[in-house]
Structure 1
Amino acid sequence: MDKVLEVKDLHVSFDTYGGIVKAVRGVNFDLKKGETLAIVGESGSGKSVTSKALMRLIPNPPGRISKGEILFDGRDLTKLSEKEMQKVRGKEIAMIFQDPMTSLNPTMKIGSQIMESLIKHQNLSKSAARERALELLRLVGIPQPEVRINQYPHQFSGGMRQRVVVAVALSCNPKVLIADEPTTALDVTIQAQILELMKDLQNKIDTSIIFITHDLGVVANVADRVAVMYGGQIVETGTVDEIFYDPRHPYTWGLLASMPSLDTSVQTELAAIPGTPPDLMHPPKGDAFAPRSAYALEIDFEHEPPMFQISDTHFAKTWLLHENAPAVEPPKAVVDRRRSMSANFAKPRLVEEAVR
């Protein structure tokens, strides 16, 4: 499968009065044509900063991409001028943000906001752009598009506003769509509708999606591959099945153990990850997760672990995978999930949980 995007050794820093915050520290990943890559992690792990760096939306100052490459269509986006990036944003790489109300201009009609991108990037006439805008509103499930196209954002519900934002993002058929927690501000019912909409539209326009979220239930329903971020780094990456049913990093274990399950045959307590995320103004010497991990080894506090390969698609950044490391058992919740999958084919149930 062809790669549409490659991120190599990406570093993003912010200059503050207290010092330099190293928000993203050596991130590597790729995105293949037509796939959905989910980037997950708790608040402060560097997910949103990474996504904004891909669009070159890091405000400078105080932020900057201090190192690394973002390769898209044979071009390194970090080397493009702002004028060149303006031709990429919206047309080739589009973004959906968390809150639809802050993504839409409250003083402009919905139709004008969709048409704006079509006129700028597709060179359509106003009449042709309006027809395309109506098509997009129908595509994302907005009822009575002929009426709604002349209305303002405040006249739409939260779920309908997010559908409009999706329409704006997809207006130019981008090759890459970045969705930065697009369902966080929505209730669960509407959240499921938006996720289903994105999956359906991806099949229709064959775009690749980077889905940023802290909700592992959402990941189970939408992603092909998952990258787990912690302390500004990717600590584990693999297919959905590998991350959910064969996780190897203690941080991934903690995330899964804290995820509720509707499987009544398995009785487990929700676990919490102790401690707080690292201070990225003074990044830790070894494994960033070591101070919060019950499985930390002495070497974790001295040397940063490399990425160990588990399979062709599965990698994890933990010394527990070293050949000389002691054998450890994951938390009970993770073991129970693996057993449940083997005995009861739990994955369909997990997906069902995600859309409820």
Structure 2
Amino acid sequence: MENQDNVLEVRNLEINFDTFAGTVKAIRNVSFDLKKGETLAIVGESGSGKSVTTRAIMGLLARNAKVANGTIEYQDRDLLQLSERDMEQIRGVDIAEIFQDPMTSLDPTMKIGRQIAEPLMIHKNMKKDQAEAEALKMMKLVGITNAEDRINDYPHQFSGGMRQRIVIAIALINYPDILIADEPTTALDVTIQAQILHLMKELQTKINTSIIFITHDLGVVAGMADRVAVMYAGQIVEYGTVDEIFYDPKHPYTWGLLNSMPTLDTKENTLPSIPGTPPDLLEPPVGDAFAARNQYALKIDTQKQPPFFKVSDTHSAATWLLDPRAPKVTPPATILERQKKYAAMHEKAVAEAKRAEQEQHRSGEEEG
């Protein structure tokens, strides 16, 4: 039965890519829900399938990609069954995306006011003057100082952090139900990153949008997400609230990700890392895809894929270690230490971001 709180439901999604080497099974039986007004983070190493999953939601898969199975339900419609014309009515209006690098998302030859206004002119047939007035409001909402003076500037006249705010303004101008943020702070320094994350949370409350936040950095997730889906080799391997994933992780892959998070106290020259490399998805392994890299692997891991074991009503993980017959294994002691340190670091970063935001707002008012 469908949950009325869900704004999006992905079920049994399978996506293959046809390549010269053969068929790559990139997404393998992925299911998740997105609730109204929440932030769901999808985390995992590069190549785990995070971006491919969201490209499927946006209807922006590469030509050599084929959806082999599954549904993506939005407003009682399966997005995978819609024509390109129907998807154009949804994309950028109901479901919008912020991409990694703002410079590749912005047109260097077009004034930013026009770029922010364009989705209103295209999707809502708004007149240019009215659309640009709305763009000016959105520029102020995303914290661009002296917006009246800057509306006619070009992208190269803005800093990286400001360009990312412009990209966010473009994504939010139609007040979408769902915002997909694909590593939106990767190219920014830590202080600006904290400001952008704080801004996104603030805007989410104001316009009541749901966010799918993609990142390889579990640290970013701590203050951003409500729930977390951990992806590995095209599958979700653990699913839970942010506190469950941070303070009670159950999958050895999640342990590895948490353990490789740096903190200010990290004194070693090299961070702990997960040994080995992800499997070749031309021929996915028979059992648990993580078995070859898992120091806690059991014999059954190489023979049979683990089902999801329920930890709580909101938390489950696909690992044979949760089978009642499995030997008891405790996660590395360093994980809990890192979690505590990171929680303190994150609170400090958020406080600094808020302070910087207020100072920027004050200086903008003084200049105005």
Aligned to 1:212: 214
Q: For residues 311 and 159 of structure 1, do their structure 2 counterparts lie closer, same or farther at Cα, with a shift above 3 Å needed?
A: same
**1:240–1:92 distance in 2 versus 1, CA, 3 Å:** same
In structure 2, C-alpha distance between the alignment counterparts of 1:301 and 1:354, rounded to whole Å: 42
Extract structure 1 runs of 4+ deviating beyond 4 A: 353-356
Q: Deviations over 1:261-280 (max 9, x none)?
A: 3469x99x842100001111
Structure-to-structure mapping, 1:279-294, within 5 angstroms: 279-294=280-295
2:34 maps to 1:42: no
Contact 1:227–1:237 under 8 Å retained in 2: yes
**What is the CA-CA distance between 1:105 and the residue it aligns to?**
1.1
Corresponding residue for residue 202 of structure 2: 200
Q: For residues 49-71 of structure 1, what are the alpha-carbon distances to aligned partners after superposition, in whole Å with 9 as ceiling and x for unaligned? A: 111111010022x1122211000
Residue 349 of structure 1, aligned match among 336, 344, 351:
344
Q: Is residue 76 from structure 1 mapped to residue 78 from structure 2 by the alignment?
A: yes
Please point out which of 17, 25, 36 is paired with 1:22.
Answer: 25
Counterparts of residues 104-253 of structure 1 (less than 5 Å): 104-253=106-255
Aligned residue identity for 2:308: M
TM-score w.r.t. length of structure 1: 0.94
CA separation in 1, counterparts of 2:125 and 2:299?
A: 60
Partners of 1:143 and 1:158 in 2: CA distance: 14
TM-score after normalising by structure 2: 0.91
Residue aligning to 1:32: 35
One-letter amino acid of the counterpart of residue 253, structure 1: W
Distance 1:247 1:4 in 2: 26
Could you say which residue in structure 1 is the equivalent of 2:330? 329
CA gap of 1:24–1:214, structure 2 versus 1, over 3 A, is same
Q: Distance in 1 between matches of 2:344 and 2:156?
A: 37
Where does residue 3 of structure 1 map in the other structure? 6
Output the CA distance in 2 between the equivalents of 1:84 and 1:303.
41
Q: 1:58 is matched with which residue?
A: 61
SS class of match (2:222) = helix
User: Retained in 1: the 8 A contact 2:107–2:155?
Assistant: yes
CA distance in 1: counterparts of 2:146 and 2:345, whole angstroms: 35
- What amino acid is the match of 2:281? L
SS in 2 for 1:221: coil
CA contact (8 A) 1:217 1:353 kept: no
Please list the CA deviations of residues 305-325 of structure 1 after superposition, one character each: whole Å capped at 9, or x if unmatched. 001110000010000000111
Q: What is the CA distance between 1:337 and its match in structure 2?
A: 5.0
Do 2:286 and 2:304's aligned partners in 1 also have CA atoms closer than 8 Å?
A: yes
Q: Is the 8 A contact 1:34 1:208 kept in 2?
A: yes
Number of residue pairs aligned between Structure 1 and Structure 2: 348
**Structure 2 contact 191–349 (Cα < 8 Å) conserved:** no
Distance 2:110 2:285 in 1: 47
**SS of corresponding position for 2:283:** coil
Q: Distance in 2 between matches of 1:291 and 1:150?
A: 55
Rounded to whole Å, the distance in 1 between the matches of 2:276 and 2:336 is 23
Residue 219 of structure 2 contacts residue 342 of structure 2 at CA under 8 Å; is this kept in 1? no
Q: Which whole-Å CA distance do the structure 2 matches of 1:198 and 1:121 have between them?
A: 23
Measured in 2, the distance between the counterparts of 1:337 and 1:106 equals 42
**Partners of 1:335 and 1:200 in 2: CA distance:** 29
Contact 1:13-1:20 within 8 A present in 2 as well: yes
Q: In structure 1, what is the equivalent of residue 276 of structure 2?
A: 275
SS in 2 for 1:234: strand
- Corresponding residue number in structure 1 for 2:357: none
Q: How far, CA to CA, are the matches of 2:187 and 2:14 in structure 1?
A: 29
Q: Deviations over 1:173-192 (max 9, x none)?
A: 00000000000011111111
Q: Distance in 1 between matches of 2:40 and 2:319?
A: 21
| Equivalent-residue separation in structure 2 for 1:347 and 1:176 (angstroms) | 29
Tell me if the contact between 1:217 and 1:350 (Cα under 8 Å) persists in the aligned partners. Answer: no
Q: How far, CA to CA, are the matches of 1:322 and 1:34 in structure 2?
A: 34
Structure 1 unaligned spans of 5+ = 341-345
Change (3 A) 1:166 1:187: same
Alignment partner, residue 343 of structure 1? none
- What's the secondary structure of 1:325's corresponding residue? coil
* AA aligned opposite 1:293: N
